[in-house]
Amino acid sequence: MDHNKLALPVGTTLDRFIMRKQEDFPYATGELSQLLRDIALAAKIVNREINRSGLIDIAGAYGNRNVQGEDVQKLDVIANIRFIRALRNGGEVCTIISEEEQEMIQTGNHQGKYVVAIDPLDGSSNIDVNVSIGTIFSIYRRVSPTGSEGTEQDCLQPGTHQVAAGYVIYGSSTMLVYTTGNGVNGFTYEPSLGEFFLSHPNITIPKTGSIYSINEGISESFTPATAAFVKHCKDQNYSARYIGSLVADFHRNLLKGGIYMYPATKKSPEGKLRLMYECNTLAFIVEQAGGKSSNGQIRTMEIEPKGLHDRCPFFIGSTELVEKAEEFMASEFSNSSAPAV
């Protein structure tokens, strides 16, 4: 009998994978690897809190609104605290910007070489109904000299300057998906061991797909070009799939092929999603997986941010579907009365 069959390998852990891949990063001195581990640690803690939220009264609204004007959930607050604390204690980050905070967060780590933009808990409106939610993060190398506090210039970098980006999806299983610019890899959390294991190596998004994801509940506010593209999707017999958690919708389309859209509307001419906390991050990931992301006209990661909480229209997913959406949007952008971006 082969004794090895009694104890089969459990797989490659996230920590081991990060160490092996460290040489892929041009500044491979260990700081980025440690930073990714800090994020993974916070994700494990948040995963624990989410899984027991119905038992210890941490579900539901917290009682105020965030900078985006959205109702804050208790788990929003908890996730924000957990990730900020992990990043501050890790020592590699000089400044954090969070979707939940109006201003930059100075960590006190003046020697830190990195800036992190984070949406601590995306899809919080779905918390109480047990629908998948997530964390979205991106990492930039600071441009100001070390030895002092981070600056707004460090934070307001275009997405092309990201050195790493990823998300955590808390669903039927908890997964961490990330890129450092050398492909996309996914890791599934094994709670009994407390480790993330490589489960989805070298993720590649299909070039096309038959899924479109958009909130058709606001269709009365769609611009003519958006309405025409949605009709095109229906004419092609595409399946409509919309969860309402950006991470969950994006994750499904990343694996199966499709397009996610949150376009400019008559009510929100600049779009709804945040450039720094959501769009740039997922754009980096999808491009590394072979897909595409744009505001309907230009590449998402080439948009120059002007404020910490800038919004932008968002089309992301399989290359052929995004390019088809851009064809429909072209008439809108050529019209002087089109919504400003």
Is 119 annotated among the ligand-binding residues? yes
Is 215 annotated among the ligand-binding residues? yes
Q: Where are the alpha helices (DSSP H) in 224-318?
A: 224-235, 246-256, 280-288
For residues 28 and 338, what is the distance between their CA atoms, to the nearest angstrom? Answer: 45
Is 122 annotated among the ligand-binding residues? yes
For residues 4 and 191, what is the distance between their CA atoms, to the nearest angstrom? Answer: 24
For residues 173 and 169, what is the distance between their CA atoms, to the nearest angstrom? Answer: 8
Pair 290, 309: CB distance under 8 Å = no
Is 121 annotated among the ligand-binding residues? yes
β partners of residue 260: 213, 316
Is 242 annotated among the ligand-binding residues? yes
Q: Report CA Rg, the chain.
A: 20
- In the block, residue with structure tokens 């919004």: 311
For residues 57 and 27, what is the distance between their CA atoms, to the nearest angstrom? Answer: 44
Question: What is the widest separation between alpha-carbon atoms in the chain?
Answer: 76
Q: Tokens in use for 161?
A: 């300057």
For residues 137 and 3, what is the distance between their CA atoms, to the nearest angstrom? Answer: 43
Is 62 annotated among the ligand-binding residues? no
Pair 260, 225: CB distance under 8 Å = no
Is 189 annotated among the ligand-binding residues? no
Q: Tokens in use for 167?
A: 């998300």
Using alpha carbons, select from 329, 138, 159, 136 the residue that is nearest to residue 249.
136
**Which residues contribute to the annotated binding site for substrate?**
122-125, 215, 242, 272
**Which residues contribute to the annotated binding site for Mg(2+)?**
99, 119, 121-122, 278
**Which residues contribute to the annotated binding site?**
99, 119, 121-125, 215, 242, 272, 278
